[in-house]
Chain A
Amino acid sequence: MSTVSGKEAVSTEKATRAVPDHDPARGRDQAMTAGQAAGGRPIPPPRAVSAPRAWLRLLGSEVGLTFRRPRNLAMLGVLTVIPVLIGIALRMFAGTGGDGTGAPMIFERITGNGLFLTFAALSLLVQLMLPVCVAVVAGDSIAGEAGIGTLRYLLAAPAGRTRLLAVKYACVVVFCLAAVTAVALSALLVGLLLFPAGPITLLSGGTIPFLDGVLRIGVVVLYVTAGMAALGAVALALSTLTEVSVGAIASTVVIVIAAQVLRAVPQLSVLQPYLLTEWWSGFDGVLRDPVAIGDMGQGLLVFAAYAAVFCSIAWARFTGKDITA
């Protein structure tokens, strides 16, 4: 063992960049124990890991965790099934409910063109289902880790508070995109399977080719994702305020419902442009001719404003918080 030189010792697990002094005796000891414990498996010399790569690795870990979690998978499953149910229901009862009351026209259009199932499903789910799923994931993101105590180990790793928060929010955005895409894809498939496809009649009465319609669905998916990501920022901020994730989730859902109620009260119409919920279904702009870029742009600005304010609140709170759980 004493023949192991200090140089070779560098190639073992224990002697790394982290060792400040180059005491050969120390290197020898480490070589010994590492070699014994590893049963002869060599560890290549550690490379310096660049910050963006390390960030991506943590994001990968976060996303992997989110999408491996049975609860989150169940939510995505439910989101995927709902368009199927709507499609089957419309297929079975098509034409029978033609009394013209209640049901919005958009649902009647589906029977004429399957693509409308995507718009209908999104405009239905964006009211509560999608927000609840996003609230669960985002509200759980910090509070859930605090609740089971893993937050202290992540921070001691050291994940870095700002870095961890940024990764958490990025993961929430990824989940939003996945959830909205799940709804859109499922609705698109079911729509095409159960109903005729073809050129789409816009709300303004004009007609665009089928592929154009699919492209516009892509735009809608991104728009709704942005809206959900803004809600995710709200839930994230609430998540930094508590160690009980149910609290953060429930308060986010309550906020959503309260905003929906406020939206329904005509006397409070002055408030409406400032409500997040008011803009979620604003993607109908893609179905107008010309495309209502201005309105959707305004929606995106509102989303960005919410995201900026609540992410910065989350940051201010999280970076100064005592982790006592």
Chain B
Amino acid sequence: MSIRARRGRTVRWAVPAAAIAVIAGAIGAGPVIAAVQGDPALPERTAEQLLASAAQAGRAGLKPMSGTVMQTASLGLPGLPEVPGMGGSSPVALLSGSHELKVWYGGADKVRFALPGRMSETDLITNGDQVWLWQSDENRATRVKAGSGERGEEAARAHEALPTATTPQQLAQQLLRRVGADTVVSVSNTEKVADRAAYQLAFAPKDPSSLVKEVKLALDGETLVPLRVQVYARSAAEPAFEVGFTSVTFSPPAAENFTFTPPTGAKVEETSLAELLKERRPERGEGFEDAEKLKSEVGTVGEGWTTVAVIPVSEQELTGQGQGEGSSGAGIGAIGDALLKSAKPISGTWGSGKVIQTKLVSALLTDDGRLLVGAVTPEKLSEAAGRK
């Protein structure tokens, strides 16, 4: 091969190479540019100051805003079966993959969440005293009647009917409630989230038996609104779970976003919030953020990051043989089956059982009918099982 020809070939292939480089650059550019330009655009603040200001900002109420929230989970679960009848709004969907949530916030009584699915959409629209749940794949509009409780609180709780409608704000509240003395807190002021300069608080558990390496919370530099929560497992460099804005605007959304009239031909139903939550109840208790609720219902061992929940349960119940009602119940059962298949036998002074470990959560099902769950190592679970 002559030198000329070889050089010609090099030059030619440089073109696709450059195209790939530019695109790879564009994909990775966000964090890279942020890091390069990372001279502190935000004034220095200590973690204590930030936490206090954030709490204060939270109490003062959220400013009108809209944006898109991306939720990504790579919990390292064994293969989950596809569950029919469970669209993008199912909590099972939470456990893996990426999910998008659109948020319009015009005030405490003007809120819209939209969960786009493939050729479908689930909307939860709160406008004044009206709360509508719209499920396009069922062509069903559900009007949530005002219950006995206070109106604002009602609206705030309405999103619980939509477990995947999780915003960084909600997670941040739970996180801040948990932070205790067993945590190392650090702060940086060079983060960039959804194109906005942000502070980032990192909470790292001191206890080595925790599967959580650290939890990072990004706060908008200007408004101190939580923009992103990332949970890092000890076993991986990428976040195991992340909820964060990919785009956000702090301006009042247009009023049309909050108006909802059931389209002609749609099934229109009316229900109370309590009923709605109950209807969707079999699906609850699986999500990460629901650990708090489980705690109140079941016994716990330990505290803080290494809290282990102990739930009386049987294998039948888990695999769905005990619950025949409703497709969602069957779906949970199918998942239980899949999980149990990958479980490893374990035994200790307390007896024997099966243990499943994911990146963030371990679960131990003892033969005597207890389910121990926690963000801890299986050894710690076994220890907790022994404590009875």
Contact = CB atoms under 8 A, between A and B. Distances in A.
A19 B12 CA distance: 34
Contact of B137 (A104, A308, A319): A104
B198 interface: no
A205 interface: yes
Interface stretch (B158-166, B223-231, B258-266, B299-307): B258-266
Contacts of A29: none
Contacts of B247: 294
Chain A, interface SS category: helix
B114 interface: yes
A20 interface: no
B72 A269 contact: yes
A62 interface: no
B85 A101 contact: yes
A295 to B, nearest CB: 7
Contacts of A313: 16
Nearest to B112: A204
Contacts of A109: 139
A109 B264 CA distance: 12
B114 A288 contact: yes
A119 interface: yes
A258 B12 CA distance: 29
Interface in A282-313: 284-285, 287-290, 292, 294-295, 305, 308-309, 312-313
B96 A267 contact: yes
A150 interface: no
B15 interface: yes
Interface in A254-302: 264-267, 269-270, 272-274, 281, 284-285, 287-290, 292, 294-295
- Of the listed residues A207, A309, A319, the one surrounded by the most CB atoms of chain B closer than 10 A to its CB is A309
Chain B, interface SS category: mixed
Contacts of A284: 116, 118-120
Interface residues of A, number: 45
A105 B134 contact: no
A267 B100 CA distance: 17
Interface string B194-210: 00000000000000000
Determine the interface band of chain B, counting residues with CB < 8 A from chain A: 35 or more
B118 A309 contact: no
Nearest to A116: B119
Contacts of B18: 312
A94 interface: no
B121 A203 contact: yes
Contacts of A274: 27
A206 interface: yes
Interface in B255-301: 256-257, 260-266
A112 interface: yes
Nearest to A307: B19
Given A292-B116, A309-B16, A316-B16, A201 B123 contact: no
B96 A269 contact: yes
A295 B247 CA distance: 11
B5 to A, nearest CB: 8
Nearest to A264: B82
B338 to A, nearest CB: 11
A289 B137 CA distance: 16
A309 B264 CA distance: 46
A104 B15 contact: no
Interface string B27-64: 10000000000000000000000000000000000000
B9 interface: yes
Contact of A272 (B13, B98, B116, B254): B98
Contact of A308 (B23, B72, B114, B120): B23
15 contacts: A102-B84, A105-B119, A108-B139, A112-B265, A205-B123, A205-B266, A266-B79, A269-B96, A269-B97, A290-B257, A294-B68, A294-B247, A309-B16, A312-B15, A320-B8
